Amino acid sequence: MVRRSRDKQAEVLLAAAERVLRSEGFNALSVRRITTEAEANIASVTYAFGGKEGLLQALVVRILTPVTVERVRRLNAVARREHEVADLVAAFADPLLDCLQQLGPHYEAVATWVGESIEHSSLTVHTMEPGLQRFVEVLSPHLPHLPIDILYFRIRTAVGAIHHYATGLTRTMQTIPDVTADHQLRLFIAGGLAAPLDE
């Protein structure tokens, strides 16, 4: 096997891991399966990432970085025109939903894994932070009645609703088409964010 630099080896392994994830799902992400796909030896995972956990964290960052970039792009585009809270919610939620669905038939299990990573990894949180911060910046002028701590609480709750929806937990009982459900999710979140502050 060809000896590669650490950065090159990391890129080869990440690309292989993403291919395995897309085609076979999260449960297939063993070190052996990834290194076979990458045509690399098992020790290369330790060399490039310090172990499997480091590789999986880097994979989540690889998946979520384009989501953050797209969120900021869409939020900026919406902010430049006349808009409502629901437009901002769509700009924030849709890039993640689109990304997860593009991961193939296993996206619901992948969504669960990504959600757990967001909860437990500071690296993942750091990756998502620019999109969240931009959402707060463009959303807060629409909700002047909300103290910032309440706004953040509602946004965290909205993120939870998006994650719950993305994992398919609500879809098992869904009786409406996905397009309608996506729209209803946006309206639900927008309504919750803009709800009056009951002191």
Query: What residue ranges do the domains of the chain occupy?
Result: 1-50, 62-194
pLDDT at residue 26, as a whole number: 83
pLDDT at residue 108, as a whole number: 74
pLDDT at residue 169, as a whole number: 57
pLDDT at residue 27, as a whole number: 86
Contact 193, 136 (CB under 8 A): no
Residue ranges, the chain, pLDDT below 50: 1
pLDDT at residue 94, as a whole number: 94
DSSP secondary structure string for all residues of 20-50: HHHHH-GGG--HHHHHHHHT--THHHHHHHS
pLDDT at residue 199, as a whole number: 60
**CA end-to-end distance (rounded Å), the chain:** 66
pLDDT at residue 117, as a whole number: 72
pLDDT at residue 163, as a whole number: 84
CATH class of the region 1-50: mainly alpha
Query: Which CATH fold topology does 62-194 show?
Result: Tetracycline Repressor; domain 2 (1.10.357)
Domain pair 1-50 / 62-194, same fold: no
pLDDT at residue 42, as a whole number: 94
